Amino acid sequence: MATLPTIRFLDRTTPPHILTLVLITGMSALSMSIFLPSLSAMTTYFDTEYAIMQIALSGYLAATAVLQVFIGPISDRYGRRVMVLGSLTIFVVASIGALFATTVEVFLFFRIMQAAVATSMALGRAIVRDIVPQDEAASMIGYVTMGMALVPMVGPMIGGGLEQAFGWQATFVFLSAAGLATLALVYLDLGETVKGEGTSFRDQLRTYPELFRSPRFWGYALCAAFGSGGFFALLGGTSFVASDIFGLSPLWSGIALGAPAIGYAFGNYLSGRFSVKLGVNRMAIIGTSITILGLGLSAALTLAGVDHPLNFFGFCVFLGLGNGVMLPNVMAGSISVRPHLAGTASGLSGAIMIGGGAALSQFAGGILTVETGTLPLQLIMLGTSILALFAVLFVVWREKRIA
């Protein structure tokens, strides 16, 4: 049995400490969610419309989707260390730029630049695969991605608390400081883990047609895109819903945003517990059905006149729970369709998922008004979840045809 390499903290001659990997993967999730409770306040500060301010999320997600496609081959060629250091440096500069922005256009420019930190999220997992054998990688990746699971719970609470106490700018002071600290840690602890070999982007492009011709790949990828699309739509509209419709404080807005993350964490547990026994397709059907049930009940109560934050945010736990069950399984399914193209399939399906999320978050933020209430957002989340179920049922149908 292979043994794990020796790891010494703050020693670049040995592989990075797991704490370093947890922090670099968590930074991307933190940057995405921490400012969301402040969107309405920022809309007022920059004297703009909520739909324009919403680009701070949708533009960030769109840039992240593009990076998902490019970053793997680039880091294979030029190394993980230089890419992580470069992305964190850009992130710190962008955070400071956003902090001092005086117009919404300048703010959005620097905000989208912050998406460079998504490089760290993707490369955290790649570094694990570089330094440990396959049988140990799954366990270590679980610890590394822990930051991505926990940050969506606490990030909005931190952002809401900072905004309530000091104003929305405090969130970007926090991001700048956190980025600098993580950059220093990476410089001291993260040595290079690849030798400049791997698939070039040109070679990766040549494999796309084979994936695009696979109906099963599209079924899994669209299931992930539609299923997670409900969550991204929630992110797009939740600040307006919390502050303008329900009148919640920034701190309570942040706490409300943590509801789906609690469900997602438990869904991940159920996925790890039952996926081998039940199979990826059945788990995906169960996950999307859970989401549809919860969001359907929430929408029905709203139609019946129950207009309360607990109805809206409480049932969003089911959105997180269903995604926690569904997403790991459909992502595993998408890379198993063509096993020799697993890396390409992972990056491409991730780009499709996050790119779709960017569009849905922008759409959700643009249609909400105080007069419409929460119902349009609830129906969007419910509708995308139904489409996710249809997508995985298509995969099941396709597999029966070719069996």
76 with 173, same domain: the answer is yes
CB 309 within 8 A of CB 302: no
Sign of CA dihedral 167, 25, 153, 291: positive
Q: What pLDDT score does 2 carry?
A: 44
pLDDT reported for residue 182: 92
Residue 396 covered by a domain: yes
| DSSP-derived 3-state class of residue 214 | coil
CB neighbour class for 195 (10 Å; exposed up to 12, middle 13-18, buried from 19):
exposed
Query: In total, how many domains does the chain have?
Result: 2
Q: Are residues 209 and 293 in the same domain?
A: yes
Clarify whether residues 175 and 226 are in a common domain: no
**One pLDDT digit (tens) per residue for the chain, 403 residues:** 445 556 667 767 666 777 888 888 888 888 888 888 888 889 999 999 988 998 998 889 888 888 877 777 777 777 788 888 999 999 999 999 999 999 999 999 999 999 999 888 777 766 766 676 544 544 555 556 555 666 767 888 899 899 989 999 999 999 999 999 999 999 998 877 776 555 566 776 777 787 788 888 899 889 988 998 888 888 888 888 888 899 888 888 888 888 888 888 888 788 878 877 888 889 999 999 999 999 999 999 999 999 899 999 999 999 989 988 888 888 778 777 776 666 567 677 778 888 888 888 888 877 878 888 899 999 999 999 999 999 999 999 988 877 5
Same-domain status, 67 and 26: yes
238, 141 in Cβ contact below 8 A?
no
Instruction: Examine the domain organization and report whether 240 and 319 are in the same domain.
Output: yes
Do 162 and 214 lie in one domain? The reply is no
Domain for residue 43, yes or no?
yes
- Say if residues 257 and 29 touch (Cβ distance below 8 Å): no
- Within-domain flag for 29: yes
> Does some domain include residue 4?
no
Residues belonging to the chain: 403
Cα-based angle 79, 133, 19 (whole degrees, multiple of 5) = 65
Distance set, CA 257 to CA 35, 37, 246, 297 (Å): 11, 8, 14, 19
Quote the CA–CA distance of 157 and 363 in Å, as a whole number. Answer: 25
CA angle centred on 89, ends 40 and 167, rounded to 5°: 25
- Which residues are within 8 A (CB) of 240 and not within 5 positions of it... i.e. 6 or more apart? 39, 40, 50, 365, 368
Domain-embedded: residue 5: no
Q: How far apart are CA 165 and CA 52, in angstroms?
A: 25
Q: Are residues 188 and 246 in the same domain?
A: no
Of 198, 224, 240, which residue constitutes the final position of a domain?
198
- Whether 190 and 211 share a structural domain: no
Sign of CA dihedral 68, 74, 79, 82: negative
Nearest to 262 by CA among 333, 326, 313: 313
Nearest-angstrom CA–CA distance, 214 and 225: 17
Cβ neighbours around 328 below 10 Å, total:
21
Give the domain extent around 162: 11-198
Domain boundary among 163, 198, 233: 198
Pair 165, 234 in one domain: no
- Which one, of 363, 376, 399, 122, lies nearest residue 282 by Cα? 399
Contact 250, 37 (CB under 8 A): yes
* Same domain membership, residue 210 and residue 193: no
Last residue of a domain, one of 166, 183, 198: 198
Q: The domain that contains 374 carries what CATH number?
A: 1.20.1250.20
The alpha carbon dihedral of 43, 380, 268, 318 has a sign of positive
Please give the pLDDT value at position 265. Answer: 81
Q: Is residue 3 part of a domain?
A: no
Task: Provide the CB-side half-sphere exposure for 70 (13 A, CA).
Answer: 9
pLDDT at 369: 82
The verdict on 135 and 120 lying in the same domain is: yes
